[in-house]
Structures are given as structure tokens and as C-alpha cells.
Amino acid sequence: MPITEILARNAEMYGQERCITEINMDLQESHNVTWLEYELIENNPAGEYRRDMTWRVFDEKANRLANLLLKRGIKKGDKVAILLMNCLEWLPIYFGILKTGAVAVPLNFRYTAEEIKYCLGLSEAVAMIFGPEFIGRVETIYDQIPRVKTLFYAGENRPSFAESYDRLTANCSSEAPPIKLADEDDAAVYFSSGTTGFPKAILHTHRSLMSACETELEHHGQTLEDNFLLIPPLYHTGAKMHWFGSLLSGSKAVLLRGVKPEWILKTVSEEKISIVWLLVPWAQDILDAVERGELKLEDYDLSRWRLMHIGAQPVPPSLINRWKKYFPNHLYDTNYGLSESIGPGCVHLGTENIHKVGAIGVPGHNWEVKITDENGSPVPRGQVGELAVKGPGVMKCYYNDPEATAAVLKDGWLFTGDMARMDEDGFIYLVDRKKDVIISGGENIYPVQIEDFLRAHPAIKDVAVIGLPDGRLGEIAAAIIELKPGCLCTEEEITVFCAPMPRYKRPRKIIFDNVPRNPTGKIEKPRLREKFGAASLVAAQTQK
């Protein structure tokens, strides 16, 4: 069943029910009024602080865009890009594209103009819908993207080189277009995070999207009574595919624009949120604010909050132990996935397996996993190998890149590039990215293990371990450490703290600096290698 049919079903069954609320905390704080007071201000323009949308309006908005695209000659299989910050319009635009049989192409809102141009070209997009934050970037390239025949602008103060999305869709029919969709039809192109170079275009079908709905609902049991707090960027598979559980159950969600700890807790309290998906830094920030006394949990009504889950990166057990101290009644889950496997869920811990915190878990609903050697053969339990997954959410291909596709797709198995091991109970532990493994003096060093150890230090907010060139050992482990606000620490203290580790694993270089992460929470290690690697390379060459 194409995923668009779920939206149509919800519009029919729950038409007057609220499905998505957008909350913009920056605007609320700038007016220095309470939530309720703000809604009572006269002449409050739509979208200034809080906006709601029902399932029926959601479906109608999607239909209006679909009919506009069809009028403009967009046909089945054409690619239509989305370049928007998280907003109430995002999901109706996404589903409107799908309803035409076209392929949605979400773009990272951090892309530079050149990266936008590159991704439009790689995906062969013929149209794009963009928001006010991107006028400057689009203006510099719009005459360099000849394949993109149509530019729609969603917002006020329309630039001269684009047409008005709002005005044009308002004049289109709200009835569903007569387009037949099949499970195997192409549905969306997502881009890899780019942490290993230029992003790849990942093509998924409608079957992939539906599999994400089913997996998420099976793992977290969403019902009509739930309310999901949606914070991460919608252009990425992670956030949207977790929301797909709300789509399938017909339940509500809140789209929060902002990640400050007090904003998250206030939204949970006021909106009676029951499910929150966090990234590691956001969970750490909440705990740090509580422990510094900046947030008092008793000031918030958190009684409806039943589940906190984390994905996008390895989760240090120390973080979850801290979390359970303050939120002992929460169910907890770890979700592992990648854009090539339609986001989270191909491996998950399971809320019943809190005793295995530190593992990414077991195969997700309808998924298979194996851990292999360099020849693709399974390794014995306990040994490290490459994690491979197989299931209904595996990508169709890297679009227009058969060589890259063949490198990771083999007999239906997706080779993830992540190194992992399986314990005697069948639980999988992520060891590190295959490309991030450090080989020092002939020993394999897995940075994630060192990072997990260092995060237990009370002064450390975040840490990234990378390999730097060394004339004698080939590479050495360097720890880039970001301290918590107000905390002081020295290299000597870190060295002493690391003494219990095996000698070869101890970081040989300590650097105090910020740890950069992309919008999905992944550490941007190429940036760190570029920043600190040049000086180390010179030193290594001098040693030879």
C-alpha cells in the first residue's frame, strides 16, 4: 500500500482531529508572554508562534500541491526538491509530491549554494520548493540549474525569480488527483550525511516508506492517545520515519523549532507529550541543566511522557544511567539505522531490554542482520566484523551511481560500513565506522570505545576521537574534548582518568575544542581531521 493512502485514510477517519502543531519558541520568548496569552493577541499572524493542522487540512493541502504540480507538467518519476526549515508546510508538501507519482527530494537546510546545486543535479530534480531562509543561496544558482524549470517559494516577500506556492496552491482543487501508485514505484531520494565526502543520492520506493511506518509502530506501540515530539530536521530519514508511527496510528505530533532544554520540557509539559526522540547532545543538555539547578523537574507536568528513545549515533551507557536517575519511569529504546535502510529501526534495543544498554540491540521488525568478515562471511559471535542488514526498507540504489550501489548492496544485503560484534545473547554492539578505525602500531583501535569511556568524566560534555598521522606508529588516537560550561580540566587529568584503559587504547593526544555535529547528531570527523591533521602530518613526516 502506498503511504499516501494512509494519509487519505486518516483524513476520512480523523478529519477534525489535530495531527500536527508547530511551535516556535523563539517567537514566544521575543514577545515575553505565556503560551495562552499569545494565542489571545489580536491580529496574531498565522505562524508567529503556534499553528495547528488537522488531518483533513493536511490531506487537502497535499492534494492542492499535487494538482498544481500536475498542471505544470510534473509527471510520475520526476524529481521535486524540498528546501525548507522545519515548519507546518513541510509534510503536506512532501505528501503532495508523492501524490503526483513524482519523487520527493528533501535537501539539507545547511547546504551551501554549491551543495544545493550539486544535489539538484545529482538527483535530476525538475522543480524545487524553497523557503525564505534560502532566498540568498537559491538566487546565486537559479540560473545555473537549467533542468529545474519550476521554482516555488513558500513564504512572504516572494523573490522575483520564483512563483508563490501559497497563492497558486490556494487556487487548486483539494480533491485527490487520479494517480495510481504501486509499492514498487519510486518515492523519495534522500542524501547521505556527507560525513565521508560529497553526499550520495539514496533512492527509496513506496514499499520502503510503508515499511518504516510498520517497523516504528511495532517497536513503540503508538496509539491515538499518543503525542510525539518531533525536533530533528525533516529532510532526514530519522525524524520523519519515527513520525511515520504517528501517521500509521493517526496520533498527534508537535513540531518544535528549537532544542533548548527548557523549551523541550515546557513543550512536553504544556502539550502533554508522551514520546520524545532525542539526539545524544540534547539528552546531555537536559541532564546538565537539571544537575546545575537551571531546570527543576517539579516545575513541569511530565506525567504523560512514557518513552524516550535515541538514535543516529552510539549511545554511551553512562548517559542512560544518568537519565534513569531523573526519569525512572521512562521506557527507553535505542534505534539504529541509516538513510540507506530508510532511517531508524533495522536494529533496535527494545524497551524490554534496558539491561542491555550499550548495545544497539537486535534485528528490528521484519529485518535480518549479520556480522561479516572482509569476504562477506559471518564471523563467530564476539568477533568484530561489518554489520549487514536485509529487509523491506533497504534502498533501491544510489541514484545514477551503479558502482557505489554494487559496493554496498550484495544479494539483497546492505553492508553498512559499521563495525560491530554480537554477544552470546544475540545483542549487537556498534564498535565504530569502518573508515574511522585507527590502526596504531598494528593494533586496531575503535574510537567509539574510547569516546564512551571519556564521556564518564564529570567535566566532559562531548568528545570525538580521531586518528592522526604518526611517523613511528602510523596513526595515534587523538581525543578532541568539549568541556561542560564552567568546568576546567587539564591534559594531565585526562591522562590520569584514562589510566584504567589498555595502554594502546589511551589517547596519545588531548585537544580541548568544540566537537562539531551535523543536524542529525553525527560527529563531523572529517572536519576535525582537516583541522588537526595537517600539523600532525608535518610532524609525522619529520619523524621519518
Residue 41 scores a pLDDT above 60: no
Per mean pLDDT, which of 78-82, 156-160, 533-537 is the most reliable?
Answer: 78-82
Pair 84, 147 in one domain: yes
Give the phi and the psi of residue 531 in degrees, each rounded to 5: -70, -40
Pair 203, 320 in one domain: no
Residue 339 lies in a domain: yes
- What is the structure's pLDDT at 24? 86
Residue 238 lies in a domain: no
Q: Coil, strand, or helix at residue 199?
A: coil
Pair 406, 463 in one domain: no
Pair 123, 193 in one domain: yes
The DSSP output letter for 380 is: P
Question: CB of 188 within 8 A of CB of 204?
Answer: yes
Last residue of a domain, one of 163, 188, 215: 215
Question: CB of 523 within 8 A of CB of 516?
Answer: yes
**Over the stretch 45-75, which tens digit does the pLDDT of each residue have?**
344 578 999 999 999 999 999 999 999 999 9
Share of the chain above pLDDT 70, in %: 91
The domain that contains 162 carries what CATH number? 3.40.50.12780
- What is the structure's pLDDT at 121? 96
b/e per residue 479-514 (b: at least 16 CB within 10 A): bbbebbeeeebeeeebeebbeeeeeebbbebbbeee
**Over the stretch 221-232, which tens digit does the pLDDT of each residue have?**
999 999 999 998
Least confident of 133-147, 185-199, 330-344, 361-375: 185-199
Residue 193 lies in a domain: yes
Average pLDDT over residues 222-246: 92
Q: Coil, strand, or helix at residue 399?
A: coil
The total domain count for the chain is 3
Residue 226 lies in a domain: no
The domain that contains 486 carries what CATH number? 3.30.300.30
- What is the structure's pLDDT at 197? 55
Pair 410, 485 in one domain: no
**pLDDT confidence bin for 170, thresholds 50/70/90:** very high
Residue 446 lies in a domain: yes
130: left (phi over 0), alpha (psi -120 to 50) or beta: beta
Per mean pLDDT, which of 138-142, 189-193, 433-437, 451-455 is the most reliable?
Answer: 138-142
Pair 210, 63 in one domain: yes
**Over the stretch 1-40, which tens digit does the pLDDT of each residue have?**
899 999 999 999 999 999 999 998 765 444 433 333 333 3
Pair 539, 472 in one domain: yes
Pair 111, 140 in one domain: yes
Residue 539 scores a pLDDT above 90: no
Pair 427, 441 in one domain: no
* CA separation for the pair 532, 509 (Å, rounded): 11
- What is the structure's pLDDT at 519? 66
What is the DSSP code string of 481-502? EEEPTT----HHHHHHHTTTS-
Residue 387 scores a pLDDT above 90: yes
Residue 105 scores a pLDDT above 50: yes
Residue 415 scores a pLDDT above 60: yes
Least confident of 161-165, 181-185, 420-424, 450-454: 450-454
C-alpha cell at position 477: 588516537
Per mean pLDDT, which of 118-122, 278-282, 538-542 is the most reliable?
Answer: 118-122
* CB proximity list for 532: less than 8 A, separation 6 or greater: 466, 468, 478, 480, 511
**Over the stretch 123-154, which tens digit does the pLDDT of each residue have?**
999 999 999 999 999 999 999 999 999 999 99
* CA separation for the pair 257, 264 (Å, rounded): 10
Pair 14, 136 in one domain: yes
The domain that contains 413 carries what CATH number? 2.30.38.10
Pair 486, 380 in one domain: no
Last residue of a domain, one of 404, 433, 462: 433
* CA separation for the pair 234, 84 (Å, rounded): 9
Domain range for 169 is: 4-19+54-215
**pLDDT confidence bin for 490, thresholds 50/70/90:** very high
Last residue of a domain, one of 401, 433, 465: 433
Average pLDDT of the chain?
A: 88
Give the phi and the psi of residue 229 in degrees, each rounded to 5: -90, 115
- What is the structure's pLDDT at 223? 96
Prediction pTM value: 0.82
* CA separation for the pair 90, 51 (Å, rounded): 13
Q: How many helices (H) and strands (E) does the chain have?
A: 17, 27
Least confident of 165-179, 335-349, 434-448: 434-448
List Cα–Cα distances, 274 to 218, 223, 231, 237, 254, in angstroms.
Answer: 16, 10, 14, 21, 11
* Among the listed residues 66, 77, 283, the one whose alpha carbon sits nearest the alpha carbon of residue 186: 77
Average pLDDT over residues 378-382: 94
- What is the structure's pLDDT at 67? 98
Question: CB of 520 within 8 A of CB of 476?
Answer: no
**Over the stretch 287-326, which tens digit does the pLDDT of each residue have?**
999 999 999 999 999 999 999 998 766 677 888 999 999 9
Residue 327 scores a pLDDT above 80: yes
Residue 43 lies in a domain: no
- What is the structure's pLDDT at 39? 34
Question: CB of 507 within 8 A of CB of 450?
Answer: yes
* CA separation for the pair 60, 168 (Å, rounded): 14
Cα maximum dimension of the chain = 73
Higher per-residue pLDDT: 431 or 335 = 335
Residue 29 lies in a domain: no
Residue 185 lies in a domain: yes
Asked whether the CA dihedral 9, 11, 17, 20 is positive or negative, the reply is positive
Pair 459, 405 in one domain: no
